[in-house]
A and B are shown apart, each in its own frame.
Chain A
């Protein structure tokens, strides 16, 4: 009993110490001049499986805010400095809701940004809508986020279905430019929500463009053999083959197509596995001339793109990705809205965001014009197509479409010349 008693006391003391340590850490940062500070709350997955992606989003934001603050902050509010308050969603919807509640009611942030996963964005934007605080959604692309009639939600990213829309646009344009009539399309997709969602969008956009879907072939993710799918495509001979795949299936499909010498006019991927840095390592030279869709690439021909990416590389040691670009550019759009609102009141900021119309400055690295429609969706969120091509014997991902954003000096290889040609 005696021994046990000392143990309890030891335990209690440890816990008290830990808690006071924790409490002590949180005390800092409140002493800054509140009158000249605007708080922005950001919800990101800072722990859990998506933590690395949350981290790069945080770094991109920090870099933008440092620049904005160093350039004199928000001038219309007396040079107010922006203060970022980060919250960890763990990638969990319920935690995202908790954190949105906290940032709004406790930290009293002027607006919210975030939050990488669509699954966290859906419920946490609802919290912001209820409190009438603007929520700037930079990365999540789930169509429904801006289709719920919310007034305080603004989204910078494209809708998921727009990628499939632009793939269709790309095909029609290529068919015309290169005089290769396209009539039929084959769809190969992984059989979960992502693939099924893409098929739904394709079934809308492809027939609208006069294209016939002659093949719809779902397969289970992480298949060990996709030969039957490939042989079916070889037999049906669709003019275009479009795919939704995670990286291992993307590489397997690519290699199997090469092996069986399947030769449509083009192979087009839908980001995901085809954009994965290990895709080329797995698929090798068979990936040559494959197309993929994206929103930003390091080589994209847009003003400021190279400079910002170089600065980021220098600061953090690796290149930006499309999500980091959206996070970075988002901060400038918010700063622009704050400048015009001349106030940290959520209502005024909402009005300013709704009236956003930017066509110059650093946001050009993402889009020539930044403007939101009445649902809060970014109009003309940019989408580019890239193609795997060899440059000096080395495979590279080259931005080729639309023409004005293509890598300088690049050209499109259309139709597909065949594997190893």
Chain B
């Protein structure tokens, strides 16, 4: 009975999401929704290594940039469709994640976080000062323009926003499915174990480094796909915007505020916070300088102060209140009920 209700709710939600473009006719609103879903997607991708495995990566901008640049360079130079290019871009991101992870995952403490910061800063500098790479034009600090070919499904270029909406919706479902699979698989349990106590996990016979590496690779690949989506949506890559610190920290931030380590936390955090930021900018952006960012900051501060386990835990408790004591995700995320 309970299962049916949940399933019904889920189907209803999916149907509503599929019907959104029919209800939202203004391109701007649809664009805002697309950006919110993109951030939810990126936060979820980060969450695989940052949340499930508890490895703080502060340089996920490398992967968005790798995915976006590799795919678009292939498209601009050889006309290779982004549909194929995204696999090359994703593979390149995976390779980088191994290059960072292999030497650092054997070590303890903040080495991984430090390595991700250092490498991402380095990569921003390299992209900024590289104009050409063999036959490819990189564009340097002036940025890479995605070649316009008009409406083309093969090139992922549409003048309407609707195809982008369905694409990012599909990607979001995909990352949720991947998260669900990880969480319920052996890998997920290994990750929780090593996140809680590496020594204990190792003593149980878990290969700590390999499990971290696998999580990092999956996360890098998913993040790179988000970068490709950014590239086809915005059609212009500016090194600081796609690879820079704000891209990297935003993913971390949305994920933590939403509830890192849970399946739906980053999704909710990504959608809610992006929406709030956009709504505030809509009303206040052109008025008092920076006021919209200030209010956004206050809201985030409130959430972190009153709900350090993330918005998802708050929602979990609300649901609990209305439906009696049941286990809701976020309530069982493995984080101890401390402080509050």
Contact B289 A85 (CB under 8 A): no
Interchain CB contact (< 8 A) of A119 among B143, B284, B285, B293:
B143
Asked if B298 contacts A18 (CB within 8 A), the reply is yes
Partner of B28, one of A88, A90, A102: A102
- Cross-chain contact A197 with B142 (CB below 8 angstroms): yes
Q: How far is the CA of A14 from the CA of B340 in the complex (A)?
A: 18
Q: B241: which of A87, A94, A102 is its contact (CB, 8 Å)?
A: A94
- On whether the beta carbons of A93 and B241 are closer than 8 Å, the reply is yes
B284 engages A26 (CB within 8 Å): yes
B289 is contacted by which of A19, A46, A105 (Cβ under 8 Å)? A46
Q: In the bound complex, what is the Cα–Cα distance between A3 and B189 (angstroms)?
A: 34
| Residues on the B chain within 8 Å of A5, using CB | 321
Q: Is A32 in contact with chain B by the CB < 8 A criterion?
A: no
Query: Does B141 lie within 8 Å of A192, measured CB to CB?
Result: yes
A223 at interface, CB cutoff 8 A: no
A8 touches B142 (CB 8 A): no
Q: Does A232 contact B (CB under 8 A)?
A: no
Instruction: Pick the residue among A87, A94, A122, A142 that contacts B285 (CB under 8 A).
Output: A87
Q: Closest Cβ of chain A: how far from B137's Cβ, in Å?
A: 11
A14 — nearest CB in chain B belongs to which residue?
B302
Contact A118 B129 (CB under 8 A): no
Q: Flag if B284 contacts A11 (CB, 8 Å).
A: no
Quick check: A47 and B289 within 8 Å, CB to CB? yes
- Nearest to A95 among chain B residues (CB) is B281
Given A8-B314, A18-B298, A123 and B235 contact (CB-CB distance below 8 Å): yes
Given A88-B286, A119-B143, A148-B145, decide whether A98 and B278 contact each other with a Cβ distance below 8 A: yes
Partner of B145, one of A26, A88, A144: A144
Judged by a CB distance under 8 angstroms, whether A106 is at the interface is yes
Residues B291-340 near A (CB distance < 8 A): 292-293, 295, 298-299, 302-303, 306-307, 314, 317-318, 321, 340
A27-58, CB < 8 A from B:
42, 46-47, 51, 55
**CB of B21 closer than 8 Å to a CB of A:** no
In the complex the two chains form, is B340's CB within 8 Å of A4's CB? yes
Asked whether any CB of chain B lies closer than 8 Å to the CB of A97, the reply is yes
Of A55, A86, A98, A191, the residue contacting B35 (CB under 8 A) is A98
Chain B residues within 8 Å of A90, by CB: 293
Contact B241 A18, beta carbon cutoff 8 Å = no
Alpha-carbon gap, A106 to B32, bound state (A): 12
A92 close to B241 (CB less than 8 A): yes
Is the beta-carbon distance between A11 and B27 smaller than 8 angstroms? no
CA distance A14 to B305 in the complex (A): 13
Of A85, A90, A123, A126, most buried by chain B (CB within 10 Å of CB) is A123
A7 within 8 A of B: yes
Q: Is B283 an interface residue (CB 8 A)?
A: yes
How many A residues touch B, CB cutoff 8 Å? Answer: 51
Q: In the assembly, what is the distance between CA of A87 and CA of B292, in Å?
A: 11
CB of A391 within 8 Å of the partner chain: no
| A204 CB to nearest B CB, Å | 15
Cβ contact of B236, chosen from A23, A55, A101, A122, cutoff 8 A: A122
Residues A118 and B142 in contact, CB atoms below 8 Å apart: yes
- A130 sits at the interface (CB 8 A): yes
Residues of A within 8 A of B284 (CB): 22, 25-26
Most buried by A among B230, B241, B286, B299: B286
- Cβ-based interface call for B6 (8 A): no
Measured CA separation A7–B289 after assembly (Å): 31
Cα-based distance from A297 to B150 in the complex (angstroms) = 43
The distance from the CB of A96 to the nearest CB of chain B, in whole angstroms, is 9
Contact assessment for B283 and A23 in the assembled complex, using a CB-CB cutoff below 8 Å:
yes
Is B211 part of the contact surface with A, judged by Cβ < 8 Å? no
The CA of A127 and the CA of B128, in the complex, are separated in Å by 24
Nearest-Cβ distance from residue B279 to partner chain A, whole angstroms: 7
Partner of B234, one of A7, A11, A18, A94: A94
Name the B residues within 8 Å of A104 (CB-CB).
28
Q: Check B28–A22 contact: CB distance below 8 A.
A: no
Min CB distance A20 to B, Å, is 11
Q: Does A193 contact B (CB under 8 A)?
A: yes
Q: A15 on the interface (CB 8 Å rule)? A: yes
- Complex formed: what's the CA distance from A19 to B277 in Å? 11
A86 to B128, CA, bound (A): 30
Given the known inter-chain contacts A22-B280, A51-B289, A130-B159, please indicate yes or no for A93 contacting B236, CB distance below 8 A: yes
A292 within 8 A of B: no
A278 at the interface (CB under 8 A from B): no
Whether A158 sits at the interface, judged by CB under 8 Å, is no
> In the bound complex, do residue A88 and residue B314 qualify as a contact, i.e. CB atoms below 8 Å apart?
no
With a cutoff of 8 Å between Cβ atoms, the chain B residues found around residue A7 in the complex are 306, 340
Q: In residues 93-125 of chain A, which contact B (Cβ within 8 Å)?
A: 93-95, 97-99, 101-102, 104-106, 118-119, 122-123
Residue of B nearest to A129 (CB): B148
B142 contact set on A, CB distance < 8 A: 118, 142, 144, 193, 197
Task: Please tell me if A304 contacts chain B, counting CB pairs below 8 Å.
Answer: no
Q: Verify B306–A11 contact, CB threshold 8 A.
A: yes
Whether the Cβ atoms of A86 and B141 lie closer than 8 Å is no
Q: B residues within 8 A CB of A261?
A: none
Given contacts A47-B290, A95-B281, A193-B140, 18 further A-B contacts (CB under 8 A): A7-B340, A11-B303, A18-B295, A22-B295, A26-B282, A47-B289, A47-B293, A55-B289, A87-B286, A88-B292, A92-B246, A94-B35, A94-B241, A97-B234, A98-B31, A102-B28, A122-B143, A123-B235
Pairs A–B under 8 Å by Cβ, sample size 5: A11-B306, A92-B246, A97-B31, A105-B26, A197-B142
Interface residues of A (CB under 8 A from B): 4-5, 7-8, 10-11, 14-15, 18-19, 22-23, 25-26, 42, 46-47, 51, 55, 85-88, 90, 92-95, 97-99, 101-102, 104-106, 118-119, 122-123, 126, 130, 142, 144, 148, 191-194, 196-197
The 5 A-B pairs at the shortest CB distance, nearest first, are namely A193-B141, A86-B286, A26-B283, A123-B236, A193-B140
